[in-house]
Structure 1
Amino acid sequence: MIFRVRWPDGAESDCYSPSLVVRDHFTPGTDYPVADFMDRAGVALTEASERVRARYGFPCSRAAGQLRTIRQICAGFLDRPDARVRVLSLESPDGKTL
Protein backbone atom coordinates (compact mmCIF):
# COMPACT_ATOMS: atom_id res chain seq x y z
CA MET A 1 0.00 0.00 0.00
CA ILE A 2 1.09 3.56 -0.67
CA PHE A 3 0.32 6.44 1.65
CA ARG A 4 0.98 9.88 0.19
CA VAL A 5 2.02 12.62 2.59
CA ARG A 6 2.73 16.35 2.48
CA TRP A 7 5.61 17.41 4.70
CA PRO A 8 5.64 20.73 6.60
CA ASP A 9 7.75 22.32 3.85
CA GLY A 10 5.12 21.48 1.21
CA ALA A 11 7.03 18.62 -0.42
CA GLU A 12 5.02 15.46 -1.08
CA SER A 13 6.16 11.85 -0.89
CA ASP A 14 4.76 8.41 -1.52
CA CYS A 15 5.47 6.11 1.41
CA TYR A 16 5.32 2.32 1.16
CA SER A 17 3.83 -0.23 3.52
CA PRO A 18 3.68 -3.96 2.79
CA SER A 19 0.37 -4.16 4.64
CA LEU A 20 -2.95 -2.36 4.74
CA VAL A 21 -2.40 -1.89 8.49
CA VAL A 22 -1.57 1.78 7.91
CA ARG A 23 -5.32 2.33 7.54
CA ASP A 24 -5.54 1.68 11.29
CA HIS A 25 -3.08 4.48 12.04
CA PHE A 26 -3.72 7.22 9.47
CA THR A 27 -6.76 8.96 8.05
CA PRO A 28 -6.55 10.67 4.65
CA GLY A 29 -6.96 14.44 4.86
CA THR A 30 -5.70 14.56 8.44
CA ASP A 31 -2.81 16.68 9.69
CA TYR A 32 -0.57 15.12 12.34
CA PRO A 33 2.04 16.89 14.47
CA VAL A 34 5.43 15.71 13.23
CA ALA A 35 6.30 13.71 16.36
CA ASP A 36 2.87 12.05 16.34
CA PHE A 37 3.18 11.18 12.65
CA MET A 38 6.61 9.70 13.24
CA ASP A 39 5.32 7.62 16.17
CA ARG A 40 2.30 6.39 14.21
CA ALA A 41 4.48 5.52 11.22
CA GLY A 42 6.80 3.59 13.52
CA VAL A 43 3.96 1.53 14.95
CA ALA A 44 2.28 0.97 11.57
CA LEU A 45 5.40 0.01 9.64
CA THR A 46 6.73 -2.21 12.42
CA GLU A 47 3.38 -4.00 12.57
CA ALA A 48 3.35 -4.32 8.78
CA SER A 49 6.87 -5.74 8.79
CA GLU A 50 5.91 -8.25 11.49
CA ARG A 51 2.99 -9.39 9.34
CA VAL A 52 5.49 -10.11 6.58
CA ARG A 53 7.67 -12.01 9.09
CA ALA A 54 4.71 -14.10 10.20
CA ARG A 55 3.89 -15.02 6.61
CA TYR A 56 7.33 -15.41 5.03
CA GLY A 57 9.69 -15.94 7.97
CA PHE A 58 11.58 -12.65 7.66
CA PRO A 59 10.73 -8.96 8.25
CA CYS A 60 10.15 -6.51 5.42
CA SER A 61 13.36 -4.62 4.76
CA ARG A 62 11.52 -2.14 2.55
CA ALA A 63 9.22 -1.17 5.46
CA ALA A 64 12.28 -0.70 7.69
CA GLY A 65 13.88 1.48 5.02
CA GLN A 66 10.70 3.54 4.65
CA LEU A 67 10.60 4.09 8.41
CA ARG A 68 14.23 5.25 8.41
CA THR A 69 13.42 7.73 5.64
CA ILE A 70 10.37 9.03 7.51
CA ARG A 71 12.41 9.49 10.69
CA GLN A 72 15.14 11.35 8.79
CA ILE A 73 12.67 13.71 7.17
CA CYS A 74 10.75 14.28 10.40
CA ALA A 75 13.96 15.05 12.31
CA GLY A 76 14.31 18.23 10.27
CA PHE A 77 10.96 19.52 11.55
CA LEU A 78 10.93 18.41 15.20
CA ASP A 79 12.12 21.82 16.39
CA ARG A 80 8.97 23.43 14.93
CA PRO A 81 6.08 22.75 17.34
CA ASP A 82 3.49 23.95 14.79
CA ALA A 83 4.78 21.69 11.98
CA ARG A 84 2.29 19.13 10.64
CA VAL A 85 2.40 16.22 8.22
CA ARG A 86 -0.77 15.76 6.16
CA VAL A 87 -1.76 12.30 5.00
CA LEU A 88 -3.14 12.99 1.55
CA SER A 89 -4.25 9.52 0.50
CA LEU A 90 -4.06 5.81 1.12
CA GLU A 91 -3.91 3.60 -1.96
CA SER A 92 -4.26 -0.14 -2.19
CA PRO A 93 -1.86 -2.21 -4.29
CA ASP A 94 -4.26 -2.06 -7.25
CA GLY A 95 -4.15 1.76 -7.17
CA LYS A 96 -7.57 2.32 -5.63
CA THR A 97 -7.82 5.17 -3.16
CA LEU A 98 -9.09 3.97 0.20
Structure 2
Amino acid sequence: MPEMTFTVRWPDGSRQQCYSPSLVVHDHLSPGTAYAVAEFLDRSRTALHAASERVRAAYGFPCSRAQSSLAAIEAAGSRFGAGEVVVEEMAP
Protein backbone atom coordinates (compact mmCIF):
# COMPACT_ATOMS: atom_id res chain seq x y z
CA MET A 1 0.00 0.00 0.00
CA PRO A 2 1.58 3.33 -1.00
CA GLU A 3 2.07 5.68 1.91
CA MET A 4 2.50 9.43 1.85
CA THR A 5 3.29 12.46 3.95
CA PHE A 6 1.79 15.90 3.75
CA THR A 7 3.04 19.13 5.26
CA VAL A 8 0.69 21.78 6.57
CA ARG A 9 1.22 25.34 7.78
CA TRP A 10 -0.97 26.40 10.71
CA PRO A 11 -2.32 29.95 11.20
CA ASP A 12 0.62 30.84 13.48
CA GLY A 13 3.13 29.87 10.76
CA SER A 14 4.19 26.60 12.40
CA ARG A 15 4.55 23.59 10.13
CA GLN A 16 3.56 20.00 10.76
CA GLN A 17 4.38 16.90 8.76
CA CYS A 18 1.58 14.34 8.72
CA TYR A 19 1.49 10.68 7.70
CA SER A 20 -1.04 8.62 5.79
CA PRO A 21 -0.75 4.93 4.90
CA SER A 22 -2.69 5.60 1.69
CA LEU A 23 -2.82 8.10 -1.15
CA VAL A 24 -6.55 8.57 -0.44
CA VAL A 25 -5.64 11.88 1.23
CA HIS A 26 -5.40 13.32 -2.30
CA ASP A 27 -9.17 12.86 -2.53
CA HIS A 28 -9.69 15.20 0.43
CA LEU A 29 -6.82 17.71 0.47
CA SER A 30 -4.96 19.56 -2.28
CA PRO A 31 -1.44 20.97 -2.15
CA GLY A 32 -1.33 24.75 -2.24
CA THR A 33 -4.86 25.05 -0.90
CA ALA A 34 -5.85 26.96 2.23
CA TYR A 35 -8.67 25.59 4.38
CA ALA A 36 -10.43 27.09 7.38
CA VAL A 37 -9.17 25.27 10.48
CA ALA A 38 -12.50 23.52 11.09
CA GLU A 39 -12.75 22.41 7.46
CA PHE A 40 -9.16 21.14 7.48
CA LEU A 41 -9.85 19.13 10.63
CA ASP A 42 -13.00 17.61 9.09
CA ARG A 43 -11.21 16.75 5.85
CA SER A 44 -8.26 15.26 7.75
CA ARG A 45 -10.56 13.10 9.89
CA THR A 46 -12.33 11.79 6.80
CA ALA A 47 -9.11 11.19 4.86
CA LEU A 48 -7.17 9.50 7.64
CA HIS A 49 -10.14 7.37 8.68
CA ALA A 50 -10.48 6.19 5.06
CA ALA A 51 -6.74 5.51 4.89
CA SER A 52 -6.84 3.53 8.12
CA GLU A 53 -9.83 1.53 6.86
CA ARG A 54 -7.90 0.63 3.72
CA VAL A 55 -5.21 -0.83 5.96
CA ARG A 56 -7.90 -2.72 7.91
CA ALA A 57 -9.30 -4.15 4.67
CA ALA A 58 -5.85 -5.27 3.52
CA TYR A 59 -4.32 -6.49 6.80
CA GLY A 60 -7.19 -6.98 9.24
CA PHE A 61 -6.36 -4.12 11.60
CA PRO A 62 -6.51 -0.31 11.42
CA CYS A 63 -3.41 1.82 10.98
CA SER A 64 -2.25 3.08 14.37
CA ARG A 65 0.15 5.49 12.70
CA ALA A 66 -2.73 7.17 10.81
CA GLN A 67 -4.64 7.40 14.08
CA SER A 68 -1.60 8.99 15.76
CA SER A 69 -1.23 11.43 12.88
CA LEU A 70 -4.88 12.44 13.24
CA ALA A 71 -4.48 12.88 17.00
CA ALA A 72 -1.51 15.19 16.40
CA ILE A 73 -3.49 17.17 13.81
CA GLU A 74 -6.43 17.53 16.19
CA ALA A 75 -4.15 18.60 19.05
CA ALA A 76 -2.52 21.25 16.87
CA GLY A 77 -5.87 22.38 15.50
CA SER A 78 -7.34 22.80 18.97
CA ARG A 79 -5.02 25.81 19.48
CA PHE A 80 -6.84 27.79 16.80
CA GLY A 81 -10.41 29.01 16.79
CA ALA A 82 -10.06 30.63 13.40
CA GLY A 83 -7.57 31.11 10.61
CA GLU A 84 -6.44 29.02 7.71
CA VAL A 85 -4.35 25.90 7.33
CA VAL A 86 -2.35 25.63 4.11
CA VAL A 87 -1.45 22.24 2.68
CA GLU A 88 2.06 23.04 1.51
CA GLU A 89 3.22 19.73 0.12
CA MET A 90 2.11 16.17 -0.48
CA ALA A 91 4.71 13.50 -1.20
CA PRO A 92 4.62 9.74 -1.68
Could you tell me how far apart the structure 1 residues matched to 2:68 and 2:31 are?
Answer: 22
Q: Which has the larger radius of gyration?
A: 1
Residue matched to 2:63 = 60
TM-score, normalising length: structure 2: 0.94
Question: Could you say which residue in structure 1 is the equivalent of 2:23?
Answer: 20
Give the Å deviation of 1:13: 1.2
Residue 74 (structure 1) aligned to one of 68, 73, 77: 77
Query: Structure 1 CA distance, aligned partners of 2:88 and 2:31?
Result: 5
SS of equivalent to 1:86: strand
Structure 1: gaps of 5 or more residues: 93-98
Residue pairs, 1:29-48, within 5 angstroms:
29-48=32-51
Counterpart amino acid of 1:2?
T
State the distance in 2 between where 1:19 and 1:76 align: 27
- 4+ residue stretches of structure 1 with deviation over 3 A? none
Report the residue type matching 1:50 in the other structure: E
Q: What root-mean-square deviation, in Å, do the aligned CA atoms of Structure 1 and Structure 2 show?
A: 0.6
CA distance in 1, matches of 2:72, 2:90: 18
How far did 1:74 drift? 0.5
